[in-house]
């Protein structure tokens, strides 16, 4: 299978990389992550208005550009390379994808245009106190109240949950697991920003007390939608992890060329050369896994998507962590300092490794998809 990108797709990469170089440099990443804002609203609006990134893979009838997952994967890879601080993963890979997977045409027409335009920050609230992305862990209660619905319970580790204008909440009612849309200003909703290892990606705890909600799709039919959303998000996260790993490895290699020890660049020492070569081999294998996932999404084959998503998350999560740790090792003492960016990539790697479930969780999903 040919995983190469077209000339137009590579031009998209060039444009996105140039934009991020101007707006997600290390100084920007530090300013936003240390300031507690979570993202830069003017940059977010420019991403939507000038580049159309929030709606890149959303059909035109919902306000998007109508491109495919391959183009979206390129964007995620470049955002991972630049450690972009923005609710892009939450809004695009989780919320927008969930809305596209439902059979609720009215909800898609009502909610997707705001996400595409950059006026709505959205997220998917699934995990609870156990932190597992599985159906049996969904305990937040959904009940009929008058002619509508109300939610009661707790969601936690919600990506950008305290920033989002729109929350897509997975809850359990009499009919089973359903998906609900909740506005950030809804009564009975309390949002608390959580302290996280990775300051470049925010998470929140959400408490619902008889909070009014809008049912999205049919009651009791949401779990297949959630599973497919998580598979798509896992592949896009893998592309982001590849971008982050590539950036931190490139930094380590450049440092090995200029850092002189015992009168020679450290890159000439066998131990450093072998380490960098091994990390490059792993990175290229991870890139193949992520790109294979993107092509699976393009094919639309559901079994292939499940297999590719689990495989990409198992491999790319572990490779990003190993490459980030190896970069710190190559940099030596300076790599452990707060002033050096190596720790930013290491923290993103460890956070992303658990974001959609641990590698062990995805190995279980892979085994199930393969019928093992």
Name the residue ranges covered by the structural domains of the chain.
Answer: 7-117, 122-220, 223-369
Mean pLDDT to the nearest integer, 52-61: 97
Look at residue 166 in the predicted model and tell me its pLDDT: 98
Mean pLDDT to the nearest integer, 255-284: 91
- CATH superfamily entry for domain 7-117: Acyl-CoA dehydrogenase/oxidase, N-terminal domain (1.10.540.10)
For residue range 98-142, what is the model confidence (pLDDT) as tens digits? 999 998 999 999 999 999 999 999 999 999 998 888 999 999 999
Beta strands 203-216 and 176-183, pairing class: antiparallel
Look at residue 250 in the predicted model and tell me its pLDDT: 96
Look at residue 336 in the predicted model and tell me its pLDDT: 84
For residue range 63-109, what is the model confidence (pLDDT) as tens digits? 999 999 999 999 999 999 999 999 999 999 999 999 999 989 999 99
For residue 159, which of 182, 183, 193 has the smallest C-alpha distance? Answer: 193
- CATH fold for the domain made of 223-369: Butyryl-CoA Dehydrogenase, subunit A; domain 3 (1.20.140)
Q: How far is CA 217 from the centre of its chain?
A: 24
Please determine, for residue 1, whether its predicted confidence score (pLDDT) is greater than 60: no
DSSP type of residue 340: S
Look at residue 2 in the predicted model and tell me its pLDDT: 64
For residue range 315-365, what is the model confidence (pLDDT) as tens digits? 999 999 999 999 999 999 888 888 899 999 999 999 999 999 999 999 999
Alpha helices, H only, the chain: 7-23, 26-35, 41-49, 69-82, 88, 97-101, 105-117, 222-258, 270-299, 302-331, 342-355, 359-369
Give the class (CATH, top level) of 122-220. Answer: mainly beta
For residue range 221-256, what is the model confidence (pLDDT) as tens digits? 999 999 999 999 999 999 999 999 999 999 999 999
Is the distance from CB of 68 to CB of 80 less than 8 angstroms? no
DSSP type of residue 4: P
Look at residue 3 in the predicted model and tell me its pLDDT: 67
For residue range 147-203, what is the model confidence (pLDDT) as tens digits? 899 999 999 999 999 999 999 999 999 999 999 999 999 999 999 999 999 999 999
Q: Which two tokens stand for residue 214?
A: 């809008």
Beta strands 260-261 and 264-265, pairing class: antiparallel
Q: What angle do CA 346, 293, 325 make, to 5 degrees?
A: 15
Which three-class secondary structure string do you get for 137-175?
HCCCEEEEECCEEEEEEEEEEEECCCCCCEEEEEEEECC
Look at residue 34 in the predicted model and tell me its pLDDT: 86
CA distance 211 to 84: 32
- Those residues with Cβ within 8 angstroms of residue 124's Cβ, 6 or more apart along the chain or in another chain: 90, 94, 95, 98, 158, 159, 168, 170, 226, 229
Please determine, for residue 268, whether its predicted confidence score (pLDDT) is greater than 90: no
Look at residue 311 in the predicted model and tell me its pLDDT: 97
Look at residue 29 in the predicted model and tell me its pLDDT: 95
* Residue 35's pLDDT band (cuts 50, 70, 90): confident
Domains 7-117 and 223-369 share a fold: no
For residue 164, which of 185, 188, 140 has the smallest C-alpha distance? Answer: 185
Is the distance from CB of 180 to CB of 149 less than 8 angstroms? yes
């Amino acid at each position: 299978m040919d995983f190469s990108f077209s000339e137009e797709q590579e031009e998209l990469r060039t444009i996105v990389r140039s934009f991020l170089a101007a707006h997600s440099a290390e100084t920007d990443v530090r300013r936003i992550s240390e300031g507690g804002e979570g993202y830069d609203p003017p940059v977010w609006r420019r991403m939507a208005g000038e580049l159309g990134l929030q709606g890149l893979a959303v059909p035109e009838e919902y306000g998007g550009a109508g491109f495919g997952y391959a183009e979206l994967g390129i964007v995620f890879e470049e955002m991972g390379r630049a450690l972009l601080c923005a609710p892009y993963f939450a809004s695009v890979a989780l919320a927008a994808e969930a809305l596209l997977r439902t059979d609720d045409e009215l909800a898609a027409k009502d909610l997707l245009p705001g996400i595409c335009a950059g006026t709505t920050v959205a997220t998917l609230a699934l995990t609870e106190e156990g932190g597992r992305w599985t159906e049996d862990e969904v305990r937040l209660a959904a009940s009929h109240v008058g002619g509508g619905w109300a939610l009661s319970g707790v969601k936690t580790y919600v990506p950008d949950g305290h920033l989002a204008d729109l929350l897509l909440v997975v809850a359990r009612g009499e009919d089973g697991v359903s998906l609900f849309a909740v506005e950030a200003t809804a009564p009975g909703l309390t949002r608390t920003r959580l302290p996280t290892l990775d300051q470049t990606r925010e998470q929140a705890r959400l408490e619902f007390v008889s909070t009014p909600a809008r049912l999205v799709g049919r009651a009791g039919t949401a779990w297949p939608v959630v599973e497919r959303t998580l598979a798509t998000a896992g592949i896009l996260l893998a592309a982001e992890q590849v971008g982050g790993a590539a950036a931190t490895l490139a930094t380590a290699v450049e440092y090995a060329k200029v850092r002189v020890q015992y009168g020679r660049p450290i890159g000439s020492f066998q131990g450093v050369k072998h380490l960098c070569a091994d990390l490059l081999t792993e990175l290229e294998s991870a890139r193949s896994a992520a790109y294979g996932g993107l092509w699976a999404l393009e094919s639309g084959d559901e079994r292939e998507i499940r297999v590719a998503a689990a495989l990409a998350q198992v491999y790319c999560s572990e490779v990003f962590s190993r490459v980030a740790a190896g970069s710190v090792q190559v940099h030596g003492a300076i790599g452990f300092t707060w002033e050096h960016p190596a720790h930013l990539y290491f923290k993103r790697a460890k956070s992303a490794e658990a974001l959609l479930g641990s590698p062990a969780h995805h190995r279980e999903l892979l085994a199930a998809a393969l019928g093992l």
